[in-house]
Structure 1
Amino acid sequence: MHEIQLTNKSADAPVRVFEKALKDSHKLGIIRLNKPASLNALSLQMVELMSQQLQVWKDDEAIVAVWLEGEGERAFCAGGNVVEVYESVVAAERPDPAVVEDYFKKEYALDFCLHTYPKPVICWGQGIVMGGGMGLFMAADVRVVTETSRLAMPEITIGLFPDVGASYFLNQIDVTWARFIALTGCHLSCSDAMALGMANVLVSQESKKALLESLDKVHWDGRDKERSLVSLKQLISPLSQRLSSLNHVDNHVKEHTSEIAPLMVGSIEEIDQKIRQWKPETAWLKKAKQSFLSGSALSAHIILRQLEVHRQSSLHQVFDSELNLITALCHKGDFAEGVRALLVDKDKSPTWRFSSVTSVNLEDVEQFLPFN
């Protein structure tokens, strides 16, 4: 296989683009998020650059697949750059709602583009994969995790809800875990991701080169994505089996489903009451409980309702709903206070609009998420 050919020469570019030669004049398009200092958090500029490149490759017959990765070993992508959004919300002058809507509209359009891309998309999900990073990862056809992967949707901690298509992809997994992931922001291991079907390839982080090399043996069909995926998965499968037993990686899904399942049944008020009475014994479960109890009560209501409403919704319906909901929450919900407390002042002491789940009324939720 030929060496990677650099098409974006600036080492400082927030997104770097490569084309890797494959056999039969085919090429692999590689997009690398290049902001390792911020764990590759997605800025609006990064979203725009990725979208533009994907459009170019869509019409390039030589490009047969796309590979997404992040610079550095710590993270693929730790989420969207919500501080950038926060600054537009709390601007000294009159805040411009269009700024917030523009960011999320373009981010969701990128996610939708990846979900529906006419060529196979492979995502190397090493390290932290959270929030906006999950939006990219879950949109890929081949979702690769390693022993270092940590997946999460922690939006309740900043007064939001799992977005970037989560109203769709969380509804594709077991309802117990969909609710638990969304309400607690818990971190999932590579084993958890595989058990839940959120990832479909598990390899050692040292296997990246071998995985890339194996792509030259795929029978690529530029006109038939599904045929390419069949060949691709057949070649990747033997690599994935090497880590089938990871004794040093936690498998929370296997260990805790029976304990968590009863907690996630019922209304948000019933779930809240059960979690408050719950006495978890492991550090991981204790952290999940604390994240729920210290998160936004308004978000807890909205999270459960949003998942219920979109149990059977299409991707298109989900992204339309999420855009309307997140724009409203950024301006009228707990978002600004959540980001201030967690990411700006970092005092971790947000003053939420509501002190508890039971103090949130139906009307409070309905102004963001109508029940009709």
Structure 2
Amino acid sequence: MNSPVLFQVLDTANHMKVGVATLNSPQTLNGLSLDMCNLLAEQLSVWQDDDTIALVVFRGAGEKAFCAGGDLHGLYKAMQENTSGEAWNNTYARKFFDDEYRLDYQIHTYPKPILCWGNGIVMGGGVGLMMGASHRVVTDTTRFAMPEISIGLFPDVGGTWMLARLPGGTGLFLALTGAQLGAGDCRFLGLADYTLGSGQWDELVGKLQASNWSDASGDNDLALRRLLVGMQPSADISSGPLQQHYSLIRQSCDGTDFDAICAAIMAWSGHEDPWLQRAANTFKSGAPGSARLSFALLERVRLLSLAEVFRQEYIVSLHCGVQGDFQEGIRALLIDKDKQPKWNPATLEQATDTWVQRFFETPWPDLVSHPLTSLEHTAPDGVVAAL
């Protein structure tokens, strides 16, 4: 059986080496499993301590996706088995979100450059991996999104930290609509750093191997930046639909009036631009509870550090495992595939601010400390370039 993550060490022009981690489950669009999280975390620690490793590269097997999300089938099975109604009793969810969030934080704070080849689909758990990388590459095939509203979840894996720090209104729009971004919009929002052609992978590997790398991570960070900038096509990056509708989105989605923002998005179902139409229709068919939860979370985490946000998201994720919509969303999309979820609450009016407060209550016994207490209390500087 093939390993779910393949690790390779490339020789370079001098004694330094490049570590390559390939997510190796193309049949699931490289969906992030618990095994993948543990393998990646362990190898990153090994490479961090190896003085000959100059930098690390993430990529996905196949041409369709870097990583399309997390282990929804495993989480669905665990939710079915947990009949207690208590979030803390879902041991698989506790383990999965603990390990996944720790890995994401490890990437954000990694002391060596990490290049993420964000080719194809980059969604959900894939965004969590890419977001923390120091050198984020998108291509002509990139489809970047946080579509959790369609499965009754919220933009986790640090997604709320990322979205809350985008220009006012844009992060909430992406959370509520699951709108897909191409390379141009990713670059416009600072969610990616470089744009290369999807056919330039072999060229990139060749240049990485032909370079002389330093034993100082700061020097390698700058050298890798120069290499990637030099590879970019000279033509200007075409503007994407979010950039084209940027003023409208900010005007409609910024602020504290949840009902007004929801009404503005729904009105776009008749817009002449099919991208905005799709965004509106995804919002209308998504979980009303997820909409309210995302809205409340983005307000809560706006001034929190990255570690604090992961701790907050962990609590909310465990609650999502027993509140019903997450299980129902997976059932409708992936299990029965009827695409007819029965959301509860069924309407935006029922998804009140009072209703959503249950997601922020500590789900574990009084004598248990937060599983992510050991994460640092401050975020690294400059992780999101959009600020």
TM-score by length of 2: 0.88
Aligned to 1:46: 36
8 Å contact kept, 2:128–2:157: yes
The residue type equivalent to 2:29 in the other structure is L
Structure 1 residues 117 and 92 mapped into 2: Cα distance closer, same or farther (>3 Å)?
closer
The residue type equivalent to 2:246 in the other structure is T
Separation of aligned partners in 1, 2:274 and 2:67: 25
SS in 1 for 2:261: helix
Separation of aligned partners in 2, 1:365 and 1:94: 21
Structure 1 residues 241 and 171 mapped into 2: Cα distance closer, same or farther (>3 Å)?
farther
Count of residues paired in the alignment: 356
Q: Cα distance, 1:16 vs. partner? A: 0.6
Separation of aligned partners in 2, 1:276 and 1:173: 22
Note the 1:174-323 alignment, pairs <5 A: 174-216=167-209, 218=211, 220-223=213-216, 225-246=217-238, 251-266=240-255, 267-278=257-268, 279-323=270-314
Separation of aligned partners in 1, 2:26 and 2:313: 28
Q: Cα distance, 1:335 vs. partner? A: 0.5
Deviation per CA, 1:310-361: give whole Å up to 9, x if none.
1121111011111111111111241111111111111111111112111123
Separation of aligned partners in 1, 2:162 and 2:211: 28
Give the CA RMSD over aligned residues.
1.7
The residue type equivalent to 1:240 in the other structure is Q
Q: Cα distance, 1:237 vs. partner? A: 0.6
8 Å contact kept, 1:78–1:129: yes
Note the 1:69-84 alignment, pairs <5 A: 69-84=59-74
Structure 1 residues 322 and 133 mapped into 2: Cα distance closer, same or farther (>3 Å)?
same
Aligned to 2:99: 106
SS in 1 for 2:279: helix
Q: Cα distance, 1:195 vs. partner? A: 0.8
Deviation per CA, 1:158-206: give whole Å up to 9, x if none.
1111010112222332222211111100110111111111010101111
Structure 1 residues 118 and 259 mapped into 2: Cα distance closer, same or farther (>3 Å)?
same
8 Å contact kept, 2:66–2:119: yes
The residue type equivalent to 2:305 in the other structure is S
Separation of aligned partners in 1, 2:352 and 2:293: 12
Separation of aligned partners in 1, 2:323 and 2:242: 35
The residue type equivalent to 2:308 in the other structure is Q
Structure 1 residues 226 and 307 mapped into 2: Cα distance closer, same or farther (>3 Å)?
farther
8 Å contact kept, 1:58–1:119: yes
Note the 1:9-28 alignment, pairs <5 A: 12-28=2-18
Moved more, 319-328 or 164-173: 164-173
Q: Cα distance, 1:93 vs. partner? A: 6.6
TM-score by length of 1: 0.91
Deviation per CA, 1:42-87: give whole Å up to 9, x if none.
1111111111111111111111110000000000000001111111
Q: Cα distance, 1:221 vs. partner? A: 3.2
Aligned to 1:68: 58
Structure 1: segments with no counterpart, 5+ residues: 1-9
**With CA pairs under 8 Å and 6+ residues apart, which has the higher RCO, 1 or 2?**
2
Separation of aligned partners in 2, 1:219 and 1:308: 46
Percent same amino acid at aligned positions? 37
